Amino acid sequence: MTLLPQEIIRRKRDGGVLDPEHIAQFIEGLTAGRVTEGQVASFAMAIFFRGLSVPERVALTRAMMNSGTVLTWDLPGPVLDKHSTGGVGDTVSLALGPAVAACGGYVPMISGRGLGHTGGTLDKFDSIPGYVTQPDLDTFRRVTREVGCAIIGQTADLAPADKRLYAIRDVTATVESIDLITASILSKKLAAGLQGLVMDVKFGSGAFMDNAADARKLAESLVLVANGAGLPTSALLTDMNEPLASAAGNAVEMAYAVDYLTGRRREKRFHEVTVELSAEMLMLGKLAANIADARAKIEHAIASGKAAEVFQRMVTALGGPSDFIENHAKHLQAAPVVKAVHAERSGIVQSIATRDVGVAVVALGGGRTRPQDPIDHAVGLTQLAAIGETVDAARPLAIVHARSEDAAEAAARAVRAAYTVGDAKASPGPSILERIGASA
């Protein structure tokens, strides 16, 4: 039975349960423009206050998935992906995609740009000269098939209902709804034609969810709905109480990823999270006998240089320099002002206001305050000190890469304010708190 949009809104406003066909009607009307912005805003607010059951979340996610093109793949291996809820120094995708591809998976990763204080994978790839982050669909398919991995941006015809709904949520204070976050993330992933998905749900001072309990609720929703919609999915809760990598920015994180893939730098926390997420993907794709086997395969792909080879092939196939891995410093923009930021006193790093570190990168020009703002790929922070590390005259809190002396000094003040330094011994929490599987 067809219902008017206002009747669908009324039913949810009054605490009723929506039938899948009514949710599909509403989303179809949203996509076609028959549903007004006021009606969409009311629908989102009704969901915000009344919530959705798991079957309703599945129906909303499927309706948004079907609002545009749904990709299908004919490949000799499983089609897998990873999605992060965002953080500071979260460079994992750059290494994970090629590592999983080196183990026999196919990774058509559709990534986003920076949001708020968090860096965007797409902005990092934009720092590579010539790399096409928004290729046509045929190129995306060809590179995925031939290389095993293609990291690009969302195309306009994948889950277009999500783009319109998100824009309205953004200005109506309904962004935080776990039901709507779940449908937004998963509709795009389902439209990509995946056969396995791992969610990296972050918590802490640099994450959108600042505590583990809220992150767990989101992870459980994502896993339940994705599996309910037919996409095998698991999630890891990972710590974002400090930057994951010691670099935050665009070109500086790209350089960090190359150093990681080539073995020049292997920081423990970053490596742990990258290996564990990658291993989860191999398990979902049935590319390993057990989790220990999966970890060993990923470790070998990285240590042997196979992941670096896949990365280079992907960069070349998408228009970037053919010698990027060997000569990335030649191709990446470098900021003209590079300065060390020292703490006001020597001591041990006790805690980090990680969100403020991300905001400092945005203020340098490495992120956006408005969607239309350009990105300065050269600026950022490197050598970020970790919790438990001693800082003194020889070991700074960070190195600032800036366009001007004034910008560098402003960033230095922000970094000093974000770090708490004391005399007590300190150590970070575990990088991975727990795994949430389909039985959650």
Asked if residues 272 and 295 have their Cβ atoms less than 8 Å apart, the reply is no
Q: What is the largest CA-CA distance in the chain?
A: 72
**Residue 118 Cα distances to 56, 159, 171, 244, angstroms:** 30, 23, 19, 12
Q: Which residues pair with 150 in a beta bridge?
A: 108
> Could you give the residue numbers annotated as active site?
81-84, 121, 169, 184, 188-189
CA–CA gap between residue 437 and residue 427 (Å, rounded): 28
- Tokens for 232, please give them: 């095998």
Q: How far apart are CA 251 and CA 119, in angstroms?
A: 11
Q: What is the Cα gyration radius of the chain?
A: 22
How many angstroms separate the CA atoms of 116 and 208, rounded? 9
Q: Which two tokens stand for residue 206?
A: 């640099």
Task: Indicate the pairing of strand 248-249 with strand 380-382.
Answer: antiparallel
State residue 440's pLDDT score: 45
Q: How distant, in Å, are the alpha carbons of 8, 32, 104, 202 from that of 269?
A: 47, 46, 25, 14
CA–CA distance, 117 with 90 (Å, rounded to integer): 12
Phi, psi of 392 (to 5 degrees): -160, -160
Contact 238, 67 (CB under 8 A): no
* Domains of the chain, first to last: 5-51 (1.20.970.10), 80-327 (3.40.1030.10), 334-422 (3.90.1170.30)
Q: What is the pLDDT along the chain (440 residues), one digit of tens a residue?
A: 788 999 999 999 999 999 999 999 999 999 999 999 999 999 999 999 999 999 999 999 999 999 999 999 999 999 999 999 989 999 999 999 999 999 999 999 988 766 667 668 888 999 999 999 999 889 999 999 999 999 998 777 888 998 889 888 878 888 789 999 999 999 989 999 999 999 999 999 999 888 999 999 999 999 999 999 999 999 999 999 999 999 999 999 999 999 999 999 999 999 999 999 999 999 999 999 999 999 999 999 999 999 999 999 999 999 999 999 999 999 999 999 999 999 999 999 999 999 999 999 999 999 876 666 788 999 999 999 999 999 999 999 999 999 999 999 999 999 999 999 999 999 999 999 999 997 64
Identify whether the C-beta of residue 350 lies closer than 8 Å to the C-beta of residue 420. yes
SS (H, E, C) the chain: CCCCHHHHHHHHHCCCCCCHHHHHHHHHHHHHCCCCHHHHHHHHHHHHHHCCCHHHHHHHHHHHHCCCCCCCCCCCCCEEEEEECCCCCCCHHHHHHHHHHHCCCEEEEEECCCECCECCHHHHHHCCCCCCCCCCHHHHHHHHHHHCEEEEECCCCCCHHHHHHHHHHHCCCCCCCHHHHHHHHHHHHHHCCCCEEEEEEEECCCCCECCHHHHHHHHHHHHHHHHHCCCCEEEEEEECCCCCCCCEECHHHHHHHHHHHCCCCCCHHHHHHHHHHHHHHHHHCCCCCCHHHHHHHHHHHHHCCHHHHHHHHHHHHCCCCCCCCCCHHHHCCCCCEEEEECCCCCEEEEEECHHHHHHHHHHHHHCCCCCCCCCCCCCEEECCCCCCCEECCCCCCEEEEECCHHHHHHHHHHHHHHEEEECCCCCCCCCEEEEECCCC
Q: What per-residue confidence (pLDDT) applies to 109?
A: 93
Distance of CA 19 to the CA centre of its chain: 32
Q: Quote the crossing angle between the two packed helices 178-191 and 54-65, to the nearest 10°.
A: 40
Q: Which residue has the tokens 């709905």?
A: 225
Q: Is 138 exposed, middle or buried (0-12, 13-18, 19+ CB in 10 A)?
A: exposed
Give yes or no for a contact between 191 and 69, defined as CB atoms under 8 angstroms apart: yes
What predicted TM-score, i.e. pTM, was given to this entire model? Answer: 0.92
